[in-house]
Amino acid sequence: MTPAKTAPRPDFASATLPRHLVRGALGFGSLALAAVLLPYAWPVSLALLPAGLLALRGCPMCWAVGLAQTLSRGRLQRTCEDGRCTLTPAP
């Protein structure tokens, strides 16, 4: 009998915290600039929207989840025993 395969978990983390923060600044900056430029230069505004969403990897919540993953990577260890999973500090 082979063990059951688990679906891969989505990973929104970046390699480093500064890289993740730069992605956030670019993404949120592009979205804010798109909102400001909408009445004056709507074609530029429409071009900035996908650029901002691409930098945030889809949505602001995806970026926030990635921030939490980036911060906890290597610091927490997940262990599961008897159907209960816990997070403990990594050794």
pLDDT score of 4 more than 60: no
Q: Is the pTM of this model over 0.85?
A: no
Give the tokens for residue 19: 């890289």
Give the tokens for residue 90: 């990594």
User: Which of the four pLDDT bands, split at 50, 70 and 90, describes residue 1?
Assistant: very low
Q: CA–CA separation, 54 vs 16, rounded Å?
A: 18
- Predicted local confidence at residue 6, as pLDDT: 56
Which residue type sits at 46?
Answer: L
HSE of 48 in the Cβ direction (CA atoms, 13 Å)? 18
The pLDDT tens digits for 10-56 are 677 888 889 999 999 999 999 999 999 999 999 999 999 999 999 99
Higher pLDDT, 79 or 28: 28
**How many residues does this entry show for the chain?**
91
Q: CA–CA separation, 77 vs 69, rounded Å?
A: 12
**CA dihedral over 56, 60, 61, 67, signed as positive or negative:** positive
